[in-house]
């Protein structure tokens, strides 16, 4: 769990320090590569000095309570895994496909359910969705520049499994051609 949270924070551009007695090989590698700072010991009061937010992902309630208490004393936002009553914020399960971001939350009631739903949706939202979001943005921008308005129903109908199949095959030109034909009945000019 800690590794997943660290990766999410890094994706957002955060500077991450991990305090843990034992860490995964992946977290060790991130520390060796300079992507995170790693303090290899149990959490101690004072470890949150200078932090903007804190996440405790331990199985030790005493440690989690210590992190939450110090965070509150210092006005630091805190999230304690599997303890919504000790959290200032919740961290949803997230799927990223480029600019397409889907967040799943149970309001802290069941992180396991949020994770399960994320895993199921990840199989439905393949990597082609990254290209789909980019293509839709490009075509939308081009049509706006040309002063062409397209009803939302047409957009909805145009984005179907045939269009996604072209993107899965890597045929961006054919996908754009199909999209424009469906939206305004014209072929792509580039």
Going by C-alpha positions, the residue among 136, 171, 169, 166 that lies closest to residue 150 is 136
Query: Which CATH code for domain 2-91?
Result: 3.40.50.720
What is each CA distance from 149 to 74, 128, 136, 139, 140, in whole angstroms? 52, 26, 14, 12, 9
**pLDDT, tens digit, 9 for 90 and up, residues 24-49:** 999 999 999 999 999 999 999 999 99
CATH class entry, domain 92-125? alpha beta
The pTM of this model reads 0.71
How is the chain split into domains, by residue range?
2-91, 92-125, 128-184
**pLDDT, tens digit, 9 for 90 and up, residues 77-108:** 999 887 888 889 888 888 999 999 999 998 87
How far apart are the C-alpha atoms of 54 and 179, rounded to whole Å? 45
């Amino acid at each position: 769990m800690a590794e997943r949270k660290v990766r999410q924070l890094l994706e957002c551009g955060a500077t991450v320090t991990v305090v843990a007695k034992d860490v995964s090989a992946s977290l060790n590698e991130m520390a060796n590569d300079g992507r995170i700072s790693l303090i290899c010991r149990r959490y101690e009061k004072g470890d949150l000095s200078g932090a903007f937010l804190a996440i405790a992902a331990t199985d030790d309630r005493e440690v989690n309570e210590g992190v939450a208490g110090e965070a509150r004393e210092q006005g630091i936002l805190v999230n304690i895994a599997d303890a919504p009553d000790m959290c200032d914020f919740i961290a949803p399960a997230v799927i990223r496909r480029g600019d397409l971001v889907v967040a799943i939350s149970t309001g802290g009631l069941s992180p396991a359910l949020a994770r399960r739903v994320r895993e199921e949706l990840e199989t439905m939202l393949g990597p082609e969705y990254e290209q789909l979001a980019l293509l839709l943005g490009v075509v939308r921008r081009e049509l706006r520049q040309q002063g062409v308005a397209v009803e939302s129903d047409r957009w909805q109908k145009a984005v179907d499994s045939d269009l996604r199949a072209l993107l899965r095959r890597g045929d961006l030109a054919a996908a754009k051609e199909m999209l424009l034909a469906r939206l305004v009945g014209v072929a792509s000019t580039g």
